[in-house]
Amino acid sequence: MSYKKEIKTVDERIFSEMRICSFDLVCSDYKIDFVDKKSYELYRLYKEKDALASYFSIPGSQENALKIYLPRQSYAYQIKKIKEEKYLEFLVIVLVVALLSLLFSFYTLSPLRNALHLTEEFIKDILHDFNTPLATLRLNSAMLQKELGSNSKVTRIERSVQTILNLQSNLRAYLSNHQAQKESFYLKVLLQERVELLEASYKNIQFFIEVDKNIYVQTNKEAFIRVIDNILSNAVKYNKKDGKVILRYKNAILEIEDTGKGIKNPKKVFQRFYKEQERGIGIGLHIVQKLCEELNISLALSSQLGVGTLLKLSLKNIIQLKDSDSL
């Protein structure tokens, strides 16, 4: 709009200068000619192909008219200058608006960022404070087990405490950044350690580990353990009686397969708080996905109701082959 307004102002100025020129014929920027009076309307600005022209009456002449015109090249030069000025104005305005928007965004998001930071620190403090009462619970349940012998109530208490410990570990892993902290370890040794912890609680589940002993992993060990523990935990909790959990490694892919109930909506299982069973709170596999992204591990899941679930972890970015004797 401003550009069009400027064009209109230029046209009006040119026409005014032509009218003045028609009186004294002193006009260095314009050219003069004589034309047939009947062919044109007087006192009007024409934008012709090669020039801007106006036609004025000549005192004492009934046939001819005075033509005062500005070559199109001169007119185009003026328009070009106006266009460049408007582009510059527009650019300045855009930059100012962008800068103000950026500053305003930082200003408005700063309280939110501070609140999120305080919330994260608060959660970390709470998780740390869990250690004392949980340690007391575990110690006393162990003493009760020793005094009473095999007791289902004490066993349920121990499992509940272990569930809280797992949740605490998941939340701590969720709040941490594990990209820079790397360790080296053998895959089969780690898998055997994690399976042994579950075998004591799930004696009716059979575990099979089909992994070469020379597969060597270099990544954040704590985060990787959380990934394996969460997957194995789901594999045993939702498995059938006398079911199986198979861990196999081939072509840089670790597969964890179970013979459990299966999943109705495999595409939704990585969503936070999504669950298909009453047990749990639905963050285990969401944390698995988050940790896999941090560790640069590709994750794929397939499942069939009544048959089981298969999880594939692509370890090509963190895996090596190494002689086990050299560790």
The answer to whether residue 206 scores a pLDDT higher than 90 is yes
Question: CB-based contacts of 312: which residues, under 8 Å, 6+ apart?
Answer: 253, 254, 255, 299, 300, 301
Domain residue spans of the chain: 2-77, 178-326
Cα separation of 221 and 173, whole Å? 11
Correct CATH for 178-326 of 3.40.50.920, 2.60.40.650, 3.30.565.10, 3.30.300.30? 3.30.565.10
Cα separation of 169 and 171, whole Å? 6
Rg (CA), the chain: 41
pLDDT digits (tens, 9 = 90+) for 246-301: 999 998 999 999 998 888 888 888 887 777 776 666 777 888 888 898 889 999 99
pLDDT number for residue 322:
62
- Tell the burial category of 67 from Cβ atoms under 10 Å away from its Cβ (0-12, 13-18, 19+): buried
Of 137, 136, 147, 299, the C-alpha closest to 228 is 299
pLDDT digits (tens, 9 = 90+) for 41-85: 888 899 888 899 999 988 888 888 899 999 988 888 888 998 898
CB 158 within 8 A of CB 140: no
Q: What are the angstrom distances between the C-alpha of 122 and each of 117, 208, 287?
A: 9, 41, 19
